[in-house]
């Protein structure tokens, strides 16, 4: 599989939300909420953005409290939390460091932000969410909260936070064009349109399943000799394409009667 990052409509929507944050009118509206079902490419998109922008990435944990959050941010900023005594001093150091990095990124015309993945685990806890709001408010720094279904519902309990997050991105199942782009961008074998469509239909637009199908197509296609249009459904008849997400059973390409 080619190690290429493919821009799907979900990725474009995410970058669009970041652009809207950069051009926002109300400076405090700097929160972005990203949600969607597992397997739609949220984490891959976010990680790719963090890697390219040099932003801070944190993965929320169940037992987080205020001190733990600050300690995690300090560690991510390469600062020894033990060397700073006192809550206030640690908080001040976090703000100083984030300001410095944010200004540097602005100077280079880049976006620097704080990403908190698996945010569902903490989104119902007022103390943590207020601390995140506090940090993002004081420096008006883009803060991206990533989660699944419950994140958006939980945020409704905190209107002061939800009002700062007008930019919400829901990762949706891939369209047929997205699936085709993903297959063309990642698969080392030329795939015909009918097989791409078949993969898209069976995967229900989930990137995880599409990638699984690409691996199976490559395994078969690199040993076969596909025609000029690429590997077709008929070529792959009887081959396993992916596993069913709900039953765990393998899904095979049907053999034509």
Partner 1 sequence: MVDRHHPGKAPTALLQKLAGGLCLTIDQLAEDLDLTKRQVSDAAANLLRRNYLERMAIGCYQLTPEGLTAAAADEIIRSGPKGPRERARRVPDTFRQRAWTSMRMQRLFTVPDVVLEAARAEDADPVDNLRRYLQVLARTGYVKVSQHRVSGTAPTSNGYKRFLLAADTGPIAPVVLSKRPGIHDFNIGEDVLCTPL
By rule CB under 8 A, what count of residues binds partner 1? Answer: 21
Please report, as residue ranges, which positions from 96 to 155 form the binding site for partner 1 (by CB under 8 A).
Answer: none
Q: Which is nearer to partner 1, 137 or 218 (CB)?
A: 218
Binding segment for partner 1 (CB under 8 A), chosen from 18-26, 74-82, 140-148, 247-255, is 74-82
Site map (CB under 8 A) of partner 1, residues 1-30, x = contact: x-xxx-------------------------
Distance CA 73, CA 94 (A): 7
Least Cα distance to 178 among 12, 9, 3 occurs for 9
Is 114 in contact with 136 (CB distance < 8 Å)? yes
CB burial of residue 28 (10 Å; 0-12, 13-18, 19+) = middle
Tokens of 215: 């691996």
Closest CB 223 distance from partner 1, rounded Å: 5
77 is a site residue for partner 1 (CB under 8 A): yes
Is 17 in contact with 146 (CB distance < 8 Å)? no
76 is a site residue for partner 1 (CB under 8 A): yes
φ, ψ for residue 24, nearest 5 deg: -65, 155
83 is a site residue for partner 1 (CB under 8 A): no
Closest CB 216 distance from partner 1, rounded Å: 9
Is 181 in contact with 12 (CB distance < 8 Å)? no
Q: Which is nearer to partner 1, 72 or 137 (CB)?
A: 72
Binding segment for partner 1 (CB under 8 A), chosen from 41-49, 64-72, 191-199, 202-210, is 41-49
Binding segment for partner 1 (CB under 8 A), chosen from 73-81, 129-137, 138-146, 199-207, is 73-81
Among 89, 96, 188, 244, which residue interacts with partner 1 (rule: CB under 8 A)? 188
Helix 193-203 vs helix 207-221: crossing angle, to nearest 10? 140
- Please list the residues that pair with 56 across neighbouring strands: 114
Q: Which is nearer to partner 1, 76 or 148 (CB)?
A: 76
176 is a site residue for partner 1 (CB under 8 A): no
The contacts of residue 169 (CB under 8 Å, 6+ apart) are: 10, 13, 14, 17, 32, 33, 34, 35
Site map (CB under 8 A) of partner 1, residues 191-230, x = contact: ------------------------x--xx--xx-------
């Amino acid at each position: 599989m080619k190690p290429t990052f493919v821009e799907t409509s979900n990725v474009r929507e995410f970058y669009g939300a970041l652009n809207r944050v950069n051009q926002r009118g109300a400076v405090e509206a700097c929160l972005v909420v990203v949600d969607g079902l597992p397997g739609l490419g949220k984490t891959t998109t976010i990680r790719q953005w963090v890697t390219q922008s040099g932003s801070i990435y944190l993965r929320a944990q169940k037992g987080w409290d205020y001190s733990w959050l600050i300690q995690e941010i300090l560690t991510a900023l390469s600062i020894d939390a033990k060397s700073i005594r006192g809550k206030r001093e640690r908080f001040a150091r976090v703000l100083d460091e984030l300001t410095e990095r944010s200004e540097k990124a602005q100077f280079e015309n880049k976006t620097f932000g704080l990403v908190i993945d698996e945010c569902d685990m903490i989104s119902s806890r007022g103390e943590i969410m207020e601390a995140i709001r506090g940090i993002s408010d004081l420096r008006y720094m883009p803060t991206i909260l990533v989660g699944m279904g419950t994140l958006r519902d939980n945020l409704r309990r905190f209107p002061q936070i939800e009002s700062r997050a007008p930019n919400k991105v829901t990762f949706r199942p891939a369209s047929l064009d997205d699936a085709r782009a993903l297959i063309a961008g990642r698969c080392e074998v030329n795939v015909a349109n009918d097989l791409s469509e078949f993969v898209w239909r069976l995967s229900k637009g989930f990137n995880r399943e599409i990638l699984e199908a690409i691996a199976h197509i490559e395994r078969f296609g690199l040993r076969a000799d596909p025609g000029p249009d690429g590997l077709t459904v008929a070529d792959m008849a009887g081959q396993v394409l992916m596993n069913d997400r709900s039953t765990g059973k393998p899904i095979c390409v049907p053999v034509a009667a």
